[in-house]
Structure 1
Amino acid sequence: MPEKYHIKTRPVPPRGPRIGKHGVVDWREDCARCHNCVKKACVYDRYRQEVDYIRGLTEVSALFFDCMGCFSCVQDCTKGLLRLSINPEYEKLGNRYWKPDIIKTTWLQAETAKIPVSGAGYRGPFSGPGFDSMWTDMSEIVRPTRDGIHGREYISTSVDIGRKLPFLSLNGNQSPASQPPLVSIPMPLIIDLSSPAHTLPKLDPIIEKAAANTGIIALMDSRYRPAKSEHLENIAFYLGPDSPPVPDELMRKTRLVEIADGPSVAARIKALKQVHPEIVVAIRVELTAAGVGRAIELAGLPDVETIHVVADANGDELTTQQPRFLKDMIRQIHTALIEKGGRDEITLMAGGGIALPEHMAKAIICGADLVTINLPLLIALECHLCESCRPGTPCPAKLENVDFNFAVGRMTNLIAAWHDQLIELMGAMGMREARRLRGDVGRAMFFEQLEEETFGKLYGTRTSR
Structure 2
Amino acid sequence: MPQKYHIHTKTAPPRFHPVGKYATVEFHENCAGSCRQCVKKRCVYNIFKENVLHTSAMQEPEYLYTCMSCFRCIQECTKGIFSRTINPDYRTLGDEYWRAENLHRLWYQAHMGKIPVSGAGYRGPFVGPGFDSMWTDMSEIVRPTRDGIHGREYINTCVELSRRVTQLEFNADMTLATQVPALLEIPLPLLFRLSPQLLINEHVLLPMAMAAKQLGTLMFIHPQDLTPQLSPYAANLIPCLSRDQAAQNDPMIRSSRVVELADAPGIERVLSEIRAAYPDKIIVIGMPLDQKAPARSAELALSGADTLHFYADDHGNEVNTAEPRFLKEMIRAIHLKLVSVGQRQKINLLFSGGIAMAEHMAKAIICGADAVTADHALLIALECRLCGMCRKGISCPVKLDEPLDASWACNRIINLVAAWQSQLIELMGAMGIREARRLRGEVGRSMWFENLEKDHFGPLFGERKVPGLG
Aligning the two structures, in what range does the TM-score lie when normalised by the shorter sequence?
over 0.9
Find the aligned partners of 2:247 and 2:57 in 1 and give their Cα distance: 53
Query: What is the match of residue 26 of structure 1?
Result: 26
Query: What is the match of residue 235 of structure 1?
Result: 237
Stretch moving more, 359-368 or 385-394: 385-394
Stretch moving more, 324-333 or 32-41: 32-41
3-state SS, counterpart of residue 243 of structure 1: helix
| TM-score with structure 1 setting the length | 0.93
Counterpart mapping for 1:87-236 below 5 A: 87-141=87-141, 143=143, 146-176=146-176, 177-223=178-224, 224-225=226-227, 227=229, 231-236=233-238
After TM superposition, give the deviation of residue 125 of structure 1 in Å: 3.7
For 2:235, the aligned partner's letter is E
For 1:140, the aligned partner's letter is E
Find the aligned partners of 1:321 and 1:253 in 2 and give their Cα distance: 41
- Runs (5+) with no aligned partner, structure 1: none
For 1:207, the aligned partner's letter is M
Query: What is the match of residue 80 of structure 1?
Result: 80
Matched-pair contact (CA < 8 Å) for 1:22–1:68: no
After TM superposition, give the deviation of residue 98 of structure 1 in Å: 0.2
For 2:130, the aligned partner's letter is G
Match of 1:267 among 269, 274, 285: 269
Give the 3 Å change call, closer, same or farther, for CA 250–405 of structure 1 in structure 2.
same
Match of 1:441 among 437, 440, 443: 443
After TM superposition, give the deviation of residue 56 of structure 1 in Å: 5.8
Match of 2:300 among 298, 301, 317: 298
3-state SS, counterpart of residue 287 of structure 2: strand
Note the alpha carbon deviations across 1:361-412, whole angstroms, 9 max, x for none.
Answer: 0000000000012110000010001145417421111102222222111112
Find the aligned partners of 2:171 and 2:116 in 1 and give their Cα distance: 52
After TM superposition, give the deviation of residue 57 of structure 1 in Å: 7.5
3-state SS, counterpart of residue 259 of structure 1: strand
After TM superposition, give the deviation of residue 7 of structure 1 in Å: 2.1
Q: Given the alignment of the two structures, is residue 51 of structure 1 paired with residue 55 of structure 2, yes or no?
A: no
Q: Given the alignment of the two structures, is residue 39 of structure 1 paired with residue 40 of structure 2, yes or no?
A: yes
For 1:297, the aligned partner's letter is E
For 2:208, the aligned partner's letter is I
For 1:281, the aligned partner's letter is I
Stretch moving more, 37-46 or 277-286: 37-46
Q: Given the alignment of the two structures, is residue 430 of structure 1 paired with residue 432 of structure 2, yes or no?
A: yes
Find the aligned partners of 2:424 and 2:158 in 1 and give their Cα distance: 11
Query: What is the match of residue 410 of structure 1?
Result: 412
After TM superposition, give the deviation of residue 194 of structure 1 in Å: 3.2
Give the 3 Å change call, closer, same or farther, for CA 147–455 of structure 1 in structure 2.
farther
Give the 3 Å change call, closer, same or farther, for CA 31–368 of structure 1 in structure 2.
same
Matched-pair contact (CA < 8 Å) for 2:145–2:428: no
After TM superposition, give the deviation of residue 228 of structure 1 in Å: 6.2
Find the aligned partners of 1:57 and 1:104 in 2 and give their Cα distance: 27
For 2:174, the aligned partner's letter is Q
Give the 3 Å change call, closer, same or farther, for CA 219–21 of structure 1 in structure 2.
same
Query: What is the match of residue 331 of structure 2?
Result: 330
Give the 3 Å change call, closer, same or farther, for CA 114–174 of structure 1 in structure 2.
same
After TM superposition, give the deviation of residue 151 of structure 1 in Å: 4.0
For 1:433, the aligned partner's letter is E
After TM superposition, give the deviation of residue 124 of structure 1 in Å: 4.2
3-state SS, counterpart of residue 240 of structure 2: strand
Matched-pair contact (CA < 8 Å) for 2:68–2:119: no
Query: What is the match of residue 256 of structure 1?
Result: 258
- Number of positions where the alignment pairs a residue of Structure 1 with one of Structure 2: 463
Matched-pair contact (CA < 8 Å) for 1:140–1:430: yes
Give the 3 Å change call, closer, same or farther, for CA 153–28 of structure 1 in structure 2.
same
For 2:245, the aligned partner's letter is S
Stretch moving more, 275-284 or 188-197: 188-197
Find the aligned partners of 1:290 and 1:428 in 2 and give their Cα distance: 36
3-state SS, counterpart of residue 285 of structure 1: strand
3-state SS, counterpart of residue 229 of structure 2: coil
Matched-pair contact (CA < 8 Å) for 2:43–2:73: yes
Q: Given the alignment of the two structures, is residue 9 of structure 1 paired with residue 13 of structure 2, yes or no?
A: no
Find the aligned partners of 2:300 and 2:55 in 1 and give their Cα distance: 60
Matched-pair contact (CA < 8 Å) for 2:111–2:412: yes
Note the alpha carbon deviations across 1:161-205, whole angstroms, 9 max, x for none.
Answer: 122122122233223332122311011111124324432243222
Find the aligned partners of 1:145 and 1:167 in 2 and give their Cα distance: 30
Note the alpha carbon deviations across 1:88-110, whole angstroms, 9 max, x for none.
Answer: 11111100000011111111111
3-state SS, counterpart of residue 161 of structure 2: strand
After TM superposition, give the deviation of residue 251 of structure 1 in Å: 2.3
Find the aligned partners of 1:283 and 1:85 in 2 and give their Cα distance: 49
Give the 3 Å change call, closer, same or farther, for CA 31–204 of structure 1 in structure 2.
closer
CA RMSD of aligned residues (A): 2.3
After TM superposition, give the deviation of residue 241 of structure 1 in Å: 4.5
Find the aligned partners of 1:46 and 1:342 in 2 and give their Cα distance: 54
Find the aligned partners of 2:248 and 2:458 in 1 and give their Cα distance: 55
Q: Percent identical across equivalent pairs? A: 47
Matched-pair contact (CA < 8 Å) for 1:23–1:84: yes
Matched-pair contact (CA < 8 Å) for 2:113–2:418: yes
Note the alpha carbon deviations across 1:283-339, whole angstroms, 9 max, x for none.
Answer: 11101233333223322x242321111100000111222211001000011111112
Matched-pair contact (CA < 8 Å) for 1:95–1:387: no
Find the aligned partners of 1:237 and 1:418 in 2 and give their Cα distance: 25
3-state SS, counterpart of residue 2 of structure 2: coil
Query: What is the match of residue 339 of structure 1?
Result: 340
Matched-pair contact (CA < 8 Å) for 1:23–1:67: no
Find the aligned partners of 1:55 and 1:242 in 2 and give their Cα distance: 63
Match of 1:282 among 276, 281, 284: 284
Find the aligned partners of 1:309 and 1:431 in 2 and give their Cα distance: 26
3-state SS, counterpart of residue 445 of structure 1: strand
Give the 3 Å change call, closer, same or farther, for CA 56–210 of structure 1 in structure 2.
farther
Stretch moving more, 244-253 or 176-185: 244-253
Matched-pair contact (CA < 8 Å) for 2:362–2:424: yes
3-state SS, counterpart of residue 24 of structure 1: strand
After TM superposition, give the deviation of residue 246 of structure 1 in Å: 5.8
3-state SS, counterpart of residue 245 of structure 2: coil
